[in-house]
Amino acid sequence: MRVAVTGGAGFIGAHSCRALLEAGHGVVAIDDLSHGKKEALPAGAALLVMDVRSPQLAAEFARLRPDAVIHLAAQMDVRHSVADPMHDASVNVLGTVNAIAAARQAGARRFVFASSGGAVYGEQETFPAPEQHPRRPASPYGVSKLCGEEYVDLARREGLSAIALRYANVYGPGQDPMGEAGVVAIFLHKMLGGGDPVINGDGKQTRDFVYVGDVARANVLAVGSDAGGALNVGTGIETSVNELARSLARAAGYSKRIAHGPAAAGEQKRSSVDPRAARDQLRWEPRVALDEGLRLTAEWFRRT
């Protein structure tokens, strides 16, 4: 199967391209390289440098004739979405609409959309949140992802085999601490580079941290599935930022006391997603425990 991966040179994208190649698929990454990096792509993955909002995307997809599209290209930073909601909506809504239209015109059989469980659900009533949980985004980023889900579901009702995957907080080797929102990467970069990380607020806010290799495997399984709707991709386990910081300090050999700063605008208090539906429909479940994932990530940061 030939698979086009928008945002394919980014953090999750590069891991997904590698997992697709290992599964025997042909891969083309579409990335404007504003955050993605050519060198992150595995050997065997072709690269098309293009903004996902480009009107030329349909012509390129028509030339490439992908059997499936994994749409990962996005503005990913909650804080940036609060500061510039117009840009967030431009990339995450208009880019998604453009990618869906291009995929349909090119005759793609399958469309996989990267959504966000924590951002879409907002402040939760149930922990971990099932897919049926009320969707009350607390940031423009969450709203844009929810809007993208609705466009994907519309395309599904109109005949395109499509699914949205609601990722929890993805971390792992390759995440850019300077260009993407990811507390694990930001903290490790500072702890290993002589800087001092700062915890936003009291650090009691919780997140569901899922290893990037597990997420890439979910993307590959979704490409080969006919499942529709939306599925959570996470661990179902809450970890506070304070707990995470202590674990990262152990992995990095960082012994200083970690300071606290002001709470971040639009940040949720608690978040975790229930992955049982993905287990039932995709035969997917997380394999890498948090301590092991943090160790692997710290090792990668030491080497780079």
Q: Which residues are catalytically annotated? A: 141
Beta strands 230-233; 161-167: pairing state: parallel
Contact 195, 202 (CB under 8 A): no
In the numeric block, which tokens belong to residue 41?
């792509």
Using CB atoms within 10 A of its CB, is residue 282 exposed (0-12), middle (13-18) or buried (19+)? buried
Contact 93, 52 (CB under 8 A): no
Contact 16, 5 (CB under 8 A): yes
Using CB atoms within 10 A of its CB, is residue 286 exposed (0-12), middle (13-18) or buried (19+)? buried
**How many CB atoms sit inside 10 A of residue 127's CB?**
16
Question: How many helices and strands, by DSSP H and E, does the chain display?
Answer: 12, 13
> Tokens 């080497």 correspond to what residue?
303
Q: How far is CA 267 from its chain centroid? A: 17
Q: What region, left, alpha or beta, does residue 258 occupy, with left being phi > 0 and alpha being psi -120 to 50 degrees?
A: beta
- Beta-bridge mates of residue 28: 4, 46
Angle formed at CA 54 by CA 2 and CA 19, multiple of 5 degrees: 30
